[in-house]
């Protein structure tokens, strides 16, 4: 789709429609490999494609998972025949109750808690694993704020691979247990996510057969998030939403949803109607929202302090590209306090019966804030990305909710408790 020159050598790998890796900064292309930085300018590398003819019918005839979009992803065409997990095709919920509560005309919730390990990270890991297998790796690894740890350990278990997962030792207990249960090596590191990430980069250079999904195979991993955009469009009846609100950690997901929408338009799979991208962060880790507010192009790193730990990346790799997406589409970024995050979790649960983790609370609460500030259009059709499950962050709400009353086992006591409740 891009008009840059073809790489000098043809690829030794079958990664489907992927043609080369291309630098986001200078456009220089390198052959497909486990590379993530441009050899000329150190800019981030991204997958470039020669897409085959893809139709709505060919996608609809595919498997009920992200692999229905395999012709648009950097994976071998035989991907389904391997022992990959099969995330995707999660529910797109018509959220009429939440719409009324927020005062917007039409709202959908993309409920990605329905993935194999209950977060959107299963999408990116499935693509990374498929690419890593083709690139010759045999151990699946990551630095993680939690959900990625779950997804990597589970995907490796299913594929019969070893895994090495690095987490900050302060991580929520449930996310530690829900990673450890899959076996594999889990290293709790003294330090915050940015320390863990630095360590991973060092280890990736030392161990030839270790694929760190979000480090040395990051260009492939990142493409997995496009499937969120593809699915929303397909589930809306092959059209783009007018507004989308996306939680931002490294920023990869937001930029790839944008890329997914744009590709569908260019491939003629949807009308290329305009859409606006909004980003959501927790105030305690809001480096991208802060840069947006200040009108800066550069991200000033922050030291995270928020209950939204899955979004707690103080130095986000794709921050500048989030700013590009948001500015190009006429969107905005907002941030919310931890108290607002909890209120957002409760509002979504009480209106739609969806229990999201803290990142979901960030998305709902930021949506409310952007509406109140007049940044989001209440008359435009809006999709909220709910990316992780509340069962993994019970601590966030455990002090806030509980039984209405504890009663003896008599109907009189129940009547009294009900009277008191009113
Ligand atoms: C990782 C994560 C995100 C954000 O992902 P990025 O692509 O790093 O911005 C959002 N929600 C949840 C639940 C996550 O685990
Ligand atoms: Zn470059």
How far apart CA 410 and CA 407 sit, in angstroms, is 8
| Atom number in ligand 1 closest to CA 146 | 15
When pLDDT is averaged across residues 178-195 and rounded to a whole number, the result is 94
pLDDT at 246 over 80: yes
Which CATH class for the 121-218 domain?
alpha beta
Q: What is the mean pLDDT of the chain?
A: 95
With cut-offs at 50, 70 and 90, classify the pLDDT of residue 164. very high
Ligand nearest to the Cα of 152, by number:
1
What is the pTM (predicted TM-score) of this model?
0.95
Q: Is the CB of 215 under 6 A from ligand 1?
A: no
With cut-offs at 50, 70 and 90, classify the pLDDT of residue 171. confident
What strands, in cross-sheet order, belong to the sheet with 139-143? 185-189, 162-168, 139-143, 210-212
Parse the chain into domains and list their residue ranges. Answer: 91-118+222-396, 121-218
Residue nearest to atom 5 of ligand 1 (CA): 249
Q: Is the CB of 279 under 6 A from ligand 1?
A: no
Q: Is it true that 91-118+222-396 and 121-218 share their CATH fold?
A: yes
With cut-offs at 50, 70 and 90, classify the pLDDT of residue 82. confident
The number of helix segments (H) and strand segments (E) in the chain equals 15, 13
Per residue in 356-397, pLDDT tens?
999 999 999 999 999 999 999 999 999 999 999 999 999 999
When pLDDT is averaged across residues 319-325 and rounded to a whole number, the result is 98
When pLDDT is averaged across residues 94-104 and rounded to a whole number, the result is 98
One of 3.40.50.1970, 3.40.640.10, 3.40.50.1100, 2.40.50.180 is the CATH number of 91-118+222-396, namely 3.40.50.1100
Q: Is the CB of 388 under 6 A from ligand 1?
A: yes
What is the pLDDT at residue 1? 45
What is the pLDDT at residue 6? 47
Per residue in 281-318, pLDDT tens?
999 999 999 999 999 999 999 999 999 999 999 999 99
When pLDDT is averaged across residues 124-142 and rounded to a whole number, the result is 97
Strands 243-247 and 139-143: unpaired
């Amino acid at each position: 789709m891009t008009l840059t020159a073809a790489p000098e050598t043809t690829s030794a790998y079958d990664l489907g429609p992927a043609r080369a890796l291309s630098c986001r900064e200078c456009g220089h292309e390198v052959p497909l490999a486990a590379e993530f930085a441009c050899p000329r300018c150190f800019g981030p590398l991204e997958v470039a494609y020669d897409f085959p003819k893809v139709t709505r019918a060919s996608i609809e005839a595919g498997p009920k998972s992200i692999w229905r979009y395999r012709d648009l992803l950097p994976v071998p065409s035989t991907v389904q025949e391997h022992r990959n997990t099969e995330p995707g095709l999660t529910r797109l919920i018509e959220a009429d109750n939440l719409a009324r509560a927020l005062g917007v005309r039409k709202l959908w919730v993309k409920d990605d808690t329905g993935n194999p390990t209950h977060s959107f990270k299963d999408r990116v890991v499935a693509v990374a694993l498929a690419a890593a297998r083709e690139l010759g790796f045999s151990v699946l690894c990551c630095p993680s704020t939690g959900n990625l740890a779950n997804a990597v350990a589970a995907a490796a278990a299913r594929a019969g691979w070893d895994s090495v997962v690095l987490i900050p030792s302060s991580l929520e207990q449930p996310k530690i247990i829900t990673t450890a249960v899959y076996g594999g090596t889990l290293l709790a590191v003294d330090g915050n996510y940015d320390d863990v990430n630095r360590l991973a980069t060092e280890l990736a250079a030392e161990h030839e057969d270790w694929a760190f999904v979000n480090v040395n195979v990051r260009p492939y991993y990142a493409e997995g998030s496009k499937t969120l955009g593809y699915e929303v469009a397909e589930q809306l009846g092959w059209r783009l939403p007018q507004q989308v609100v996306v939680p931002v950690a490294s920023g990869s997901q937001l930029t790839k949803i944008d890329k997914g929408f744009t590709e569908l338009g260019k491939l003629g799979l949807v009308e290329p109607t305009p859409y606006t991208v909004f980003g959501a962060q927790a105030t305690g880790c809001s480096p991208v929202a802060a840069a947006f507010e200040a009108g800066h192009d550069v991200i000033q790193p922050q030291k995270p302090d928020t209950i939204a730990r899955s979004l707690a990346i103080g130095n986000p790799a794709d921050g500048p590209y989030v700013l590009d997406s948001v500015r190009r589409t006429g969107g905005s970024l907002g941030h919310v306090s931890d108290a607002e995050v909890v209120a957002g979790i409760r509002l979504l649960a009480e209106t739609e019966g969806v229990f999201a983790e803290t990142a979901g609370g960030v998305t709902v609460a930021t949506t409310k804030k952007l509406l109140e500030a007049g940044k989001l259009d209440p008359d435009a059709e809006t999709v909220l990305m709910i990316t992780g499950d509340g069962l993994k962050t019970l601590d966030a709400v455990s002090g806030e909710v509980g039984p209405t009353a504890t009663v003896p086992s008599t109907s009189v006591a129940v009547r009294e408790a009900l009277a008191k409740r009113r």
